[in-house]
Amino acid sequence: MSVRISAMSVLPPVRRDRVIAQLPQCFRKEAAIHTKNDFNNKVKTACQEQRTGTVGFKISKVIVVGDLAVGKTCLINRFCKDTFDKNYKATIGVDFEMERFEVLGVPFSLQLWDTAGQERFKCIASTYYRGAQVVIIVFDVNDIASLGHARQWLEDALKENDPTAVQLFLVGTKKDLSSPAQYSQIEQDALKLANEIQAEYWAVSSLTGENVREFFFRVASLAFETNVLAELEKSGSRQIGDVVRINSNSNNLYAASKKKQSNCCH
């Protein structure tokens, strides 16, 4: 972790299509984390004044869970690599992707943990649940049973996390395979569940790409907003100068992380 943080300072600039300047809107107002039109004012001001705490080192951990073959890996691959594979290759344990953004001018990364839905790999996968700021529960809009299992996935994910600190998303995939009539029927159930578990609801297709980018932009934006607000609360009356000092002292940060690394490897 610390090694990755120090490496970030030498990374190239964030891709132009990962720059977020406006708060992306929710998919359904009936099931949204919030329905405000714009980023929180305190967050905007802090970003303008570069008072966002560990500027440039912000990372949120996201775990993606749900039944086997609902399309978790395809969803991540569509967004991160703009690819789609029609052949099913089960995820064994977990896969990991880091996606970098710039939100309100501040570098921000999502650590995406793609977990296995197959029962036999669940045990390995669940050891990676800890420390998640965002939980994405995925179901297939053509498979009502996969929606029914969402609660169980949530329960397992929250066992390892502080339920009050987690932002939840419920995502229906494979929208391209369902007729409008079939879709609107399952959407009713999904919206109801999303409200009960206080999740924000989205429906996407990784095959066509419908809503995929919008969804991840929304995740990044809400995670960022929460992250900065928490940072502002934590720092309270701390001087702006403190933050600047931490950042300008990156040599020491690097040295410290190297030291830590050698301690744990030997």
Neighbours of 22 (CB within 10 A): 11
Residue 115 in contact with Mg ion, rule: CB under 5 A: no
Residue 214 in contact with ligand GTP, rule: CB under 6 A: no
Taking the complex as a whole, the smallest distance from the CB of residue 140 to Mg ion amounts, in Å, to 13
Stretch that binds ligand GTP, among 52-60, 62-70, 180-188, 228-236 (CB under 6 A): 62-70
Closer residue to ligand GTP in complex, CB, 102/140 = 140
Longest Cα–Cα distance of the chain, Å, equals 60
For residue 221 the two structure tokens come to 């934006």
Q: By CB under 6 A, what part of segment 80-119 binds ligand GTP? A: 85-88, 90-91, 116-118
Residues facing residue 108 across a β-bridge = 58, 101
Q: Judged by CB under 5 A, which of 91, 111, 146, 173 binds Mg ion?
A: 91
Residue 147 in contact with ligand GTP, rule: CB under 6 A: no
Q: Are 188 and 219 in contact (CB under 8 A)?
A: no
Query: Site for ligand GTP (CB under 6 A): how many residues?
Result: 23
Taking the complex as a whole, the smallest distance from the CB of residue 62 to ligand GTP amounts, in Å, to 15
Residues facing residue 110 across a β-bridge = 60, 99
Stretch that binds ligand GTP, among 40-48, 55-63, 146-154, 204-212 (CB under 6 A): 204-212
Residue 229 in contact with ligand GTP, rule: CB under 6 A: no
Nearest to 201 by CA among 156, 178, 193: 193
Taking the complex as a whole, the smallest distance from the CB of residue 125 to ligand GTP amounts, in Å, to 9
Q: What stretch of H or E contains 224? A: helix 212-235
**Residue 50: CB partners within 8 Å, gap ≥ 6?**
106
Q: Are 183 and 141 in contact (CB under 8 A)?
A: yes
Neighbours of 249 (CB within 10 A): 12
Could you give the C-alpha distances from 28 to 37, 87, 155, 180, 190, in angstroms and in order?
A: 13, 31, 24, 16, 11
Closer residue to ligand GTP in complex, CB, 87/237 = 87
Taking the complex as a whole, the smallest distance from the CB of residue 65 to Mg ion amounts, in Å, to 11
List of residues contacting ligand GTP (CB under 6 A): 68-74, 85-88, 90-91, 116-118, 173-174, 176-177, 205-207
